[in-house]
Every structure is written in C-alpha cells, then in structure tokens.
A and B are shown apart, each in its own frame.
Chain A
Amino acid sequence: MSAVAGHALSLQRVSKRYGDFVAVQDASLEVASGQFLTLLGPSGSGKTTILMMIAGFVEPTEGRVLLDGRDITALPPERRDFGMVFQGYALFPHMTVAENVAFPLRVRKLGRAERDAKVRAALDLVQLDRFAERKPSQLSGGQQQRVALARALVFDPALLLLDEPLSALDKKLRAELQEELKALHRRVGRTFINVTHDQEEALSLSDEIAILNHGHLIQVGAPETLYERPATRFVADFLGKSNFIEGEAEADAGGFVLRRGAARVVASGAPRAGRTLLSLRPEKIALLPEGATEDNVVEGRIASWSYVGTGYALTVMTPDLGNIRVHLPAWRIPVSPAEGLPVRLGWARDAAVAVAEDPGSPVPGGVA
C-alpha cells in the first residue's frame, strides 16, 4: 500500500443487465480519494448492484471500474484489497471477535506478532478491545457492526465499502453509530463508499451523495447541493419533501416567471421558457402576517394540519396552485392552525428551483 491513505475510484459508463432486466444503466461516477460517498436510492434502484460491481462480486455487462486510474473490472474480489461491511455484517460465527478481525491478516500470512498488534489497534479503534475473546453471538447488534468495521479496516484496505451498515439497528442506535462512523472516517482518512435507502443517514454522513432510481444514476453532489438544487423531480421528492408547481415559463429580469392559470410564480435562476416544473420545499414557505408581502404570495385555506414537535405541518388548499405543503417552526407560527382558516403563503423568488422530469417517467412537452 502507498503512503496515501485514500484511493480514488471511478466508474465509467457501467451497466448491468440480467437478461432483459436492467439493474444499472450507464452509470458514471468519480469518487475522490478520502471521500465519503453514499449511494442512495429506494430498494431496487441498483445501488447495491453498483456496490457489488465495485467490490467485484458482480461483473458489469458494460463499462469499466478504475482504481487510481488502473482498470480493475476483471479483477476478482479477493484481489481487489477492499474492505467491506456486509448487510447483516457476515461475521464468522465460529470465530471469536479477535479471530474475525485477524482473518484478513491470516489470509495475507502476516506474522503472529504483527497480526496481534494490528488486531488490537483495530479493536481499539472501534472501542471493542474488551470483547476480543467473545463470540459474535454474544455481542449486541451495534457491537457486531463495530466488529465488522474493525475487520474491514484492519488490513488497510484501498477502499471501505459499506452495504446498508446501519439498517439492522434501531433508530436511536443508528443515530449513535452514524456519529461514530463519521468520526471513524475522519480518523482513518480513507475512501468510504456506503449504500443506504435512508436519506437522513445519507445527508448526515456523506461528503457526496449519488442518487439512484430504476437503475439510473440521477444526480451526484454534496448533500447541500442535492437538497438545495435537486436536478429532477425524483431527487427533490426522495431527499426531504417538496411541492411541485408546473406551468409555462418565460424569462424576466431576475430569472423567469411561471404561469399556471391565473397565477404567476417568480423564480430566480437561469432564464427559461416553455413547460417547467418547480420544486418548492415546505420549510421555505412562510405564513404571511397581515400587511406583509413577499416575492410570491398565494392565498388559500388550511385543509389539514398536524403538530410534529419541531413545528407544524400544514396542507394549504389554494385555488391557484392546488394543495401546498408548508412546514413552519412551532414558535414562529403567526396564527393558531385550524381547518378552513384563510391564510396567505409567501416565499422568496430564490426559494423554488426548476427540476427536470426523471428518465423513464413520461416527460411533459419539452422540459429542459
């Protein structure tokens, strides 16, 4: 291994087909050295297939996998030198924790002293040094997950691959281990590639997120970019919640105006014309007090509301734009919500972003 801790991985136009079924279609991806990348998508989106192609367990039908510029597409998994945490951890039940962690070193025929030292260091790293002589069945789910991490990191792998590493844990433990995983990534400075269907996990852990749907890689970017500037309807909908407003756009001074029936919605951004779909996050909409105004103002009535602790979730029925979901911090709400209550909604022109329809879904006439 070189002195550089992380390695860069790149997928070039990778596809995987099983007969007629397309699991992954033409995916290209760059993972920079030391990065934490998450493949995010619903089940069946092809995220695990991509991970398995990176690991070498699945051979791409087309395309290439490169590690630091070297083509490894044909290399079997045992010669790739990647650490992997499997779904359900796949710890060896007949070995102790220490033997599990020592396994990759035993395979590499390391001397006993060096092996013991590395196993101890890896168990220290995940705070499991006291459990070295236990069997995996004697550990809790969170501890097993940490053993799997130690085992995957002990041989200084070029990459660490994680297949839904937190999905088997309950919510509270998951949040705890997310923190640990993030800290671990910072400490070891390696390239991590994670697979999950949990958008919160993806947002909080990753440097970069790659969003997949139906085998297509839809958008890759930093969590903030993906959340604030989703490229398609699917991304806007899968990462957080979103309202969608569809209409005819025409350019204006600050960006463009979207017309839908009698309503006009102004938005900033590149001027555009023709049929356009806008995504508007519920938390970027305000309930305007008497006399206040905004770039966009829409009137309506509260159709339903619920209190969710951090705030109120309202659905407002507007004659012009249909149902609009609004999320307001509880301590900032100017009225007490009640069904049928007339309200005015307002949002700034830079609150909404134009998004495309997704590949595979019907495209309404000429969305750019």
Chain B
Amino acid sequence: MGGHRPGWLNGTLAWATVIYLILPITIILPVSLTDQRFLSLPYERLSAQHYVTLLTTPAWTNAILQSAWIATASTLLAVVLGTLCAIGCWRLSRRSTDLVRALMLLPIIIPTITYAVGLYRYFARLGLLDSFTGVVIAHGVTGIPYVVITVSTALAAFDPRLESAARGMGASLGQTLRWVILPRIMPGIVSGAIFAFIHSWDELVVVLFIASRRVFTLPRKIWDGINENLDPAMAAVAVLLVGMTVLLLLMDLALRRRRTG
C-alpha cells in the first residue's frame, strides 16, 4: 500500500467529524433505554419499558404499520415509474430525453417545503388530502429521482449489443426487457428501491402538509409527540427508524459489493 499516513491533526479532525456526525444518532440509544418516565439518560438501570409501550400502544403500532405500508406502496410506485422512465430515456437517448431525466430529479432539487405547498393546493382539488393514496402518490413521486439515478447508472454500463442480440434472436420488446435488460440492471433497481423506501420511511414535511387526522406516519407521530409531551417512547421510535435505515443501507452496500466482486 502506497500513500502517506495521515498526520495526527488529520486523524483527529477526521474522527471529530465522524463523532459529530453520529453522536446525535447514538445519543438516542441510551435515552430510549431510560428507566425514567421522561426524556433523559438512564438514572439507575437500563429499561426496555419504552419499547414495550411502543409495541403495545395502538397509536404507535398503527403509525409503524402505516409508515411501513406507505413506504412499501410508494417504493413500488417509484420503482415502476422511475425504471420505465430511465429505460425510456436510455432507449430514445436524444437531447430531449436528457431534459426529461433532469426534470425527473426536480423533487430532490427543489426545497421540499415548496413541493409540499404545491402538493397541498393540488391535492385539495383532487380530494387526496389526508388519504393513504395521497401520501403514497406524494412519496412515490418524490422517490422517483432516486430510482432514475440508480437505474440510469446501471443502464450506462449495459452493453446495447445484448439488446440487439435478443431482438435478432426473435425476442419481442417485452421479452427483451424481462429476460435481458431487467436482470442486468436489477442491482440498480434494488438500490433505487432501497433509497425510495428510506425516503418515504423518514419523510415528514410533505406529510405535515397533506395529512391531518387519518394518516399518521411514524415521523409525524414523533413530531406530534415532541410538540405535545416528551415521552421517551419517541427515542425508542427514533432507534427503530434509524435501525431500519441502517439495515437498508447495509443491504445496499452488500448488493454493491456482490456486483463488483
């Protein structure tokens, strides 16, 4: 291995940055295990009581289930639309398709709050406010960019001769897509799906705007909880949220490693 060994200053700075980044996340773990009835560090012993509350209080379990369902449904929507869009742009590959691809990235470029205000006006007219469908659509559409990015990257590495070969052997567009293109770009699709899921799983701003009484996702429940009371169950929820996200990211990492390995 060549290269310089980092000096002590560099090393210290790097570690300080890492700690700065993960400290707020790690602090919630001991807080969630507190033996007190308010948001604090454990006084005498560790306790799992808030996890029990979390899993036995219908308000919390409902929120968890709702979030899971919304994330799953919106991921499905984002994956289907994003993949089709990426494949379409790749196949046509004109100047206009570059524009379309750039447009698809808008939801993550423009400030979420702007997007949320727009959605609010528009969903009110369509009667989609405070509905499961509305949130799924909103999260699905804002999840598309992640899928478009990862699938486009996978397609850039796809050998177009494979498509020609399939067609030359008599395969229809559908067969070529199913048996040749999709299997080749599957790692990109899965990656996109993971990011779209994470996006919906911890999205708050849009939900705050378009949901009121019926739709309570986990992030929104935490938000309300913080405003109303300082229940340590919230720390337990936060651990759950972070755990889920880390799990998904590790999955993505493992997939990438398998692809390059």
Interface residue ranges, A against B (CB under 8 Å)? 55-57, 76-79, 81-84, 86-88, 90-94, 103-104, 106-108, 151-152, 155
Q: Is the CB of A107 within 8 A of B183?
A: no
B249 within 8 A of A: no
- Chain B: minimal CB distance from A72 (Å): 14
* B159 touches which of A82, A90, A103 (Cβ 8 Å): A90
Kindly specify which of B5-13, B65-73, B145-153, B160-168 makes contact with the partner chain.
B160-168
B175 within 8 A of A: yes
B170 within 8 A of A: yes
B221 within 8 A of A: no
- Chain B: minimal CB distance from A167 (Å): 14
Most B CB atoms within 10 A — which of A77, A82, A93, A108? A77
Q: What's the Cα separation between A107 and B165 when bound, in Å?
A: 12
B18 within 8 A of A: no
Can you show 12 pairs from A to B with CB atoms below 8 A apart? Answer: A57-B167, A77-B167, A77-B168, A78-B170, A78-B172, A79-B170, A83-B169, A86-B168, A94-B183, A104-B170, A108-B170, A152-B169
B168's nearest neighbour on chain A, judged by CB, is A84
**Chain A contacts of B171 at CB under 8 A?**
78, 103, 107
Q: Is the CB of A76 within 8 A of B167?
A: yes
- Chain A: minimal CB distance from B177 (Å): 13
Given contacts A92-B180, A106-B179, contact A82 B162 (CB under 8 A): no
* B170 touches which of A86, A87, A90, A107 (Cβ 8 Å): A107
15 A-B pairs besides A103-B169, A103-B171 with CB distance below 8 A are A55-B168, A76-B167, A84-B165, A84-B169, A86-B168, A87-B161, A92-B180, A93-B184, A94-B183, A94-B184, A103-B166, A104-B170, A107-B170, A107-B175, A151-B169
* CB-CB nearest 9 A-B residue pairs: A90-B165, A104-B169, A90-B161, A84-B168, A78-B167, A107-B171, A107-B170, A94-B183, A77-B167
**Chain B contacts of A151 at CB under 8 A?**
169
**Chain B contacts of A90 at CB under 8 A?**
159, 161-162, 164-165
- Chain A: minimal CB distance from B170 (Å): 5
- Chain A: minimal CB distance from B247 (Å): 27
Q: What's the Cα separation between A325 and B184 when bound, in Å?
A: 54
Q: What's the Cα separation between A333 and B167 when bound, in Å?
A: 57
* B161 touches which of A55, A81, A86, A152 (Cβ 8 Å): A86
- Chain A: minimal CB distance from B23 (Å): 43
**Chain A contacts of B168 at CB under 8 A?**
55-57, 77-78, 82-84, 86
Q: Is the CB of B175 within 8 A of A86?
A: no
Q: What's the Cα separation between A82 and B170 when bound, in Å?
A: 8
**Chain B contacts of A103 at CB under 8 A?**
166, 169, 171, 179
Q: What's the Cα separation between A56 and B164 when bound, in Å?
A: 10
Given contacts A90-B159, A94-B183, contact A107 B169 (CB under 8 A): yes
CB-defined interface of B191-227 with A at 8 Å, one 1/0 digit per residue?
Answer: 0000000000000000000000000000000000000
A57's nearest neighbour on chain B, judged by CB, is B164
**Chain A contacts of B162 at CB under 8 A?**
90, 92
Q: What's the Cα separation between A291 and B6 when bound, in Å?
A: 87
* B164 touches which of A82, A86, A152 (Cβ 8 Å): A86
**Chain A contacts of B161 at CB under 8 A?**
86-88, 90
**Chain A contacts of B175 at CB under 8 A?**
107
- Chain A: minimal CB distance from B219 (Å): 38
**Chain B contacts of A77 at CB under 8 A?**
164, 167-168
Q: What's the Cα separation between A104 and B165 when bound, in Å?
A: 10
Q: What's the Cα separation between A119 and B178 when bound, in Å?
A: 21
A82's nearest neighbour on chain B, judged by CB, is B168
A106's nearest neighbour on chain B, judged by CB, is B179
- Chain B: minimal CB distance from A90 (Å): 4
Q: What's the Cα separation between A57 and B169 when bound, in Å?
A: 12
Q: What's the Cα separation between A90 and B158 when bound, in Å?
A: 11
- Chain A: minimal CB distance from B231 (Å): 50
**Chain A contacts of B183 at CB under 8 A?**
94
